Amino acid sequence: MNVSSIELKYIVENLVFIYGKRLVKIIEPAVGIWGFHLDKKILLISVIPGYSWISVVENIPTRGEMSPFGMLLRKHLTGAFLEEIKLERQGDRIVRFAFSSGYSLCCELTGRHSNLFLLDENNIIKYSAYVSDSVSRNLLPGALYSLPAVFEQPQQNLLKQDIDYLSWFYEDYKNSIKAKVIGLLEKRRRTEIKRLEKLIGNIESDCKRAQKDLELRRLGDLIYITLSEWNPLERHKIWTEAPDGLGPCEIIFPEGVTRPVKAAEYFYKKYTKGRKTIEVASTRLIKLQDRLVEVKNREFTEDDIQSFMNEFKSGQKRKEKFKSEPGMRKYISEAGIIILCGKTASDNHSLTFSKARGNDYWFHVRDFPGSHVVAFTGNIEIDKETLKDAATIALLYSDARKNGSGDVMYARKKFVKAVKGQQGKVYVSSQTNIQIELDPTRLERLKKSVESELF
């Protein structure tokens, strides 16, 4: 059974859960069906003649082998982000999926003539699932992709049963999407509750430890009260009835402290720190407890559901993936590739071995200490300008900057291995060198590309 143009319109409008997701794997459950792993969802596209449709599932078995077309899809799309889903023309069953690598998938779900095309950034056909024998369009590899001709059809009056079916379909589909969104919001709520409960538990533990520090003030007071009684070599004193009249007490000097006055100062500092900790923690604890009650009792409104759907449609999930965190600098190359640069050894380690993927490009200045730099290219080859931009950043944030020029080595991240026990240190098994100079024009353009937020 083929999907209708009306059904396809509503499916495309509600594919909010896969916007901005990274394509991590492509499978082929059956001949003519491809599955695209986008985070935890699988986008299924079927172009089997007579059974063309689109669906999103969470799990599906694969047939264990891949067609040549599927292998080409893996080569050009794996690692890219899904940026846009749109109908090519209203009323037609043609959908385009645009990816950050510059390639796009064009699905013609037109019954027995269904086909799937891989297009480059210039809309040139690279490959197709089936060889087309169309006489009205050239759909062979290397040709410019064009939409089929529009054939005007006479207006048909819908029967009452057709109207009833469409009304039921829209309402049922809308309710199913709403249920999924509410489920995701509930999952977000549970995650937030766990986070708040963990924070509250940690703060309560800090308060208990700080409460013990408050008792150290008595030890400091007792040392000053009995200061004349301490022998020069005495480090330990026990009273069955302390001079302050508050019962038994035992004083043991901290390690490395030999004088009573220094010991008293140590106890007073610990007391002051504990008192301040309790003051700050108590205020924060009240706010967190109020926030926890608010999250638990909150009811989701239509505005919350719509806001959540708009968040996916606008690609916010992808932006969150490249949201800044302290310690990393972010640049955008002239080709639109994101380039990140670490600041400290721990930042470099995190950037190279946590955030970068195997086919991203890694840069470092040769023979000088400096920052790790990663260009997030995915599976695509790095272009000349992005290569120079990343190499310039690596030179700029190194000790070779004062020379104005230097050698920068670069390699795919999969060839970079960490040195055990030395954070930030690596060895590279396959590398290429480039001689680079600090070009003021390039530096100015890179400076303007820096976003206000850090990665």
Q: In what order do the strands lie in the sheet with 33-38?
A: 23-30, 33-38, 41-48, 51-57
Give me the DSSP letters along 311-333.
HHHTTHHHHHHT---TTEEEEE-
Query: 243: closest CA among 225, 260, 261?
Result: 225
Q: How far apart are CA 142 and CA 454, in angstroms?
A: 41
- pTM for this model (two decimals): 0.41
Contacts of 348 (CB under 8 A, 6+ apart): 342, 371, 372, 423, 424
pLDDT in tens, 95-117: 999 998 889 999 999 888 899 99
| One-letter amino acid for residue 244 of the chain | D
pLDDT in tens, 230-269: 888 888 989 988 888 889 999 999 988 889 999 999 999 9
Residues facing residue 340 across a β-bridge: 330, 374
- In the CATH scheme, what is the code of domain 5-151? 2.30.310.10
| One-letter amino acid for residue 366 of the chain | R
80 SS3 class: coil
* Number of other CB atoms surrounding residue 190 within 10 Å: 11
The phi, psi pair for 402, rounded to 5°, reads: -65, -20
Q: How far apart are CA 326 and CA 377, in angstroms?
A: 22
The DSSP H or E segment spanning 97 is strand 94-99
Q: What is the CA radius of gyration of the chain?
A: 32
Q: How far apart are CA 44 and CA 107, in angstroms?
A: 11
Reading the chain (455 residues) residue by residue, the pLDDT tens digits are: 688 888 888 888 878 778 888 899 999 998 889 999 987 889 999 998 888 989 888 888 888 888 999 999 999 999 899 988 989 888 889 999 999 888 999 999 988 889 999 999 999 999 999 988 788 888 888 999 998 887 655 544 544 455 554 555 556 656 677 777 788 888 888 888 998 999 899 899 988 888 989 989 999 999 999 988 888 888 898 998 888 888 999 999 998 888 999 999 999 999 999 999 899 888 889 989 998 998 888 888 878 777 777 665 554 444 444 444 556 888 888 888 899 999 888 888 889 988 888 889 999 999 899 999 999 988 888 989 999 999 999 999 999 888 888 999 999 999 999 888 777 788 898 889 999 999 888 888 888 876 433 33
CB 126 within 8 A of CB 103: yes
Alpha-helical segments (H) within 48-159: 68-77
Q: How far apart are CA 159 and CA 252, in angstroms?
A: 94
Burial group, residue 321, by CB count within 10 angstroms (0-12, 13-18, 19+)? middle
Q: How far apart are CA 260 and CA 16, in angstroms?
A: 68
* Number of other CB atoms surrounding residue 25 within 10 Å: 13
